[in-house]
């Protein structure tokens, strides 16, 4: 199955939300309380991508700045029937490219305590747990998430 990544805009919030809800997150997660309006606001404050196969959204991810050095990746989801095809990896790499192009030194993300089975996926992509890092967008009613960080490549210095 081929797919295209496209930037997500606030008007894509319903397609984005549908992918998130179909992803099967544990009902105790704060994701379940996320509305299309929340997503539209998040996309407006930061940005995101959707993976499409024709007119069907297969995957989503959003991001936003958390200070001058950190780009926070969140809301990564793929439809269950589309998993294992590189969509999640492509979405994460798209956010990493935004971070690198924007001069951010790291990408930070949080994994819900209710979703630990995704940790190996992020580790394979080079993310490492950082117990000292804080996830600025954590839901106050949820347990502390597992915070992972990946440092972006530093620009090569050029000599004159």
Average pLDDT, integer, range 7-29 = 93
| Number of structural domains the chain divides into | 1
Provide the pLDDT for residue 32.
82
Per the CB < 8 A criterion, the answer to whether 80 and 20 are in contact is no
Instruction: Tell me: pLDDT of 155 over 90.
Output: no
Provide the pLDDT for residue 132.
84
Burial bucket for residue 69 (CB in 10 Å: 0-12, 13-18, 19+):
middle
What domain range is 92 assigned to?
A: 4-151
Provide the pLDDT for residue 154.
66
- What three-state secondary structure class fits 122? helix
Provide the pLDDT for residue 140.
75
Instruction: With respect to residue 117, please indicate whether it lies within any of the assigned structural domains.
Output: yes
* CA angle 94–76–1, rounded 5-degree value: 70
Instruction: With respect to residue 92, please indicate whether it lies within any of the assigned structural domains.
Output: yes
Instruction: With respect to residue 159, please indicate whether it lies within any of the assigned structural domains.
Output: no
This prediction has a pTM of 0.91
pLDDT per position as a tens digit, 37-80: 999 999 999 999 999 999 999 999 999 999 999 999 999 999 99
Instruction: With respect to residue 78, please indicate whether it lies within any of the assigned structural domains.
Output: yes
């Amino acid at each position: 199955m081929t797919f295209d990544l496209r930037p997500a805009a606030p008007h894509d919030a319903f397609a984005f939300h549908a992918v998130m809800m179909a992803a099967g997150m544990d009902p105790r997660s704060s994701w379940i309380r996320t509305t299309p309006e929340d997503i539209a606001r998040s996309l407006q404050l930061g940005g995101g991508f959707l993976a499409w196969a024709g007119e069907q959204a297969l995957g989503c991810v959003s991001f936003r700045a958390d200070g001058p050095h950190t780009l926070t990746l969140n809301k990564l989801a793929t439809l269950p029937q589309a998993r294992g095809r590189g969509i999640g990896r492509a979405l994460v790499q798209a956010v990493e490219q935004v971070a690198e192009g924007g001069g951010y030194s790291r990408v930070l993300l949080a994994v819900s305590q209710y979703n630990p089975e995704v940790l190996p996926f992020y580790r394979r992509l080079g993310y490492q747990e950082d117990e000292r890092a804080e996830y600025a967008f954590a839901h106050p009613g949820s347990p502390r998430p597992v915070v992972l960080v990946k440092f972006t490549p530093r620009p090569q210095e050029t000599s004159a």
